[in-house]
Amino acid sequence: MEIWINPACSKCRSAVKLLDEEGAAYTVRRYLDDVPDENEIRAVLGRLGLEPWDITRTGEDEAKELGLKDWPRDAAARDRWIAALAGHPKLIQRPIITADDGTAVVGRTEEAVREALSRSVG
């Protein structure tokens, strides 16, 4: 299991705390320092079953500067969104937890973190 976090994020800290309390085996990826490339973002989107705009923090200043709210949300624009996430990792929703069964969740709630845990227990 891997968790993409921003240590300054309270939701990320809560998720890590819960993983620790449950004795989960996981790897931390500080995605602002170890930025995922476009292929990694595509892979995690596939695991999440989501589109790039679904995991984009559109309220961030960078999103406003890019005008993301006005970007089309369709297949033709997908690569543009993915490039924006790779170029501006602060826009990636967090935390993202990849489970051992090949799926992933956006772990913003205790329930979502527990869902990832349940998918990673033998």
Phi, psi of 106, rounded to the nearest 5 degrees:
-90, 110
- Which spans in the chain are helix H? 10-21, 38-48, 61-66, 78-87, 110-120
* Active site (annotated) includes residue 9: yes
User: What distance in Å separates the CA atoms of residue 108 and residue 11, rounded to the nearest whole number?
Assistant: 6
Strands 104-106 and 27-30: unpaired
From the list 2, 9, 14, 78, the catalytic residue is 9
Question: Catalytic residue positions?
Answer: 9
